[in-house]
Amino acid sequence: MALGALHGMRGDLVVSSLALGLLYYGGPDCRPLLGFVLPLCLTNILYDSQRYYADFIRGPVHVRGPYELERRLFGIAGPEGVLTPNEWWQRHLHPVLDAVTGLGYIAYVPVFVGVAAYFRFGKGRTGSRLCPPEVFRARAPQVMWAFLWVNLLGWSTYYWYAVSPPWYVALHGLGPALLDTRASPAGCARFDALVGLPVFAGWYGRAADVHGAMPALHVSYPLLSVYYAFRFGAARVFTTAFFLLMCFAAVYLNHHYVLDVLGGVVYALVVAAAIEALWPRRPRAPSASAREGTGGTEGAAIDASNVAR
């Protein structure tokens, strides 16, 4: 309601709010799905809200410092001098790389949500030797809550250590940061040109914060998927391959420095470890009727509610 009063809510925010309401009033059978989508909807709403207060609480924006540190640590020497990896790749482009990295950048949130859904509802629930089925069922909800918390931690960094992305340096140089700059799709514009659609142009036009390159959350989400894939013993090869693709895409598409990628790795591991430590160690015991199989739909509803938590 607050966002709507400020300038009207986007369509996706309206859908998120309505979906949460419908699932809440849908009864016990909908509670597992409500618990699954709640962190995602909260993330979407909180991200959009930043456009109203970001400029009032943000500290100094770092433009030159991260660029020079990147060049010092990871610079590539060539005829034009020492280039950052981003700058080097902008001189070694290929349409196949544009297509693959662009697809990865489109799919990074859907892939994470899909993997989380597989863990929560799909065949991934079989568990593994290190994670028995009963522990798996109790801990599968961690995945989506980790998604929310890594976003909150990452967004907070935008305000105490704001970093301009490499595409900003390419467009505006190393001078003082321009706070009214519109977000650019950067290398993703090449994907738009390949498919003939303004996919990223429309997406990045809605960005809430331009100077938020550190950490690279495009990398944090896939690494969380890798962490839980190994924790639960499912989808390990796929999640690892996608994580490596996103690490490369973040640099190749000129959206993040290698330092940002490393920051995204650290944030994901910190959040995963913290949630693992704070999450209840044992699954909640089912009711007597659910254990004995005599409680009918009431026992099943209680059990579903327990699993949701």
CB 212 within 8 A of CB 256: no
pLDDT at 29: 72
pLDDT at res. 126: 53
3-state secondary structure of 281: coil
pLDDT of residue 308: 42
Cβ neighbors of 64 (< 8 A, separation 6 or more) are 174
Q: What pLDDT was estimated at residue 307?
A: 40
* pLDDT mean values, one per 10 residues, the chain (309 residues): 52 64 67 83 83 80 96 94 96 97 94 92 61 72 94 93 95 90 91 92 74 94 95 91 98 97 98 90 50 42 41
pTM reported for the whole predicted model: 0.82
Neighbours of 77 (CB within 10 A): 9
Specify the pLDDT at position 163: 95
Q: Tell me 286's DSSP state.
A: P
For the chain, give every domain's residue range: 1-52, 59-278
| DSSP one-letter code for 124 | G
DSSP state of 60: P
Q: What is the pLDDT of residue 284?
A: 53
Q: What is the DSSP letter of 212?
A: B
Mark out the alpha helices in the chain (DSSP H runs): 2-7, 11-24, 31-49, 54-57, 64-74, 85-90, 95-121, 133-139, 142-160, 166-172, 188-195, 199-204, 217-232, 236-252, 258-278, 288-292, 296-308
Cα dist from 149 to 77, 86, 144, whole Å: 39, 28, 9
Q: What is the pLDDT of residue 32?
A: 77
Angle at CA 179, nearest 5°, toward 252 and 211?
Answer: 35
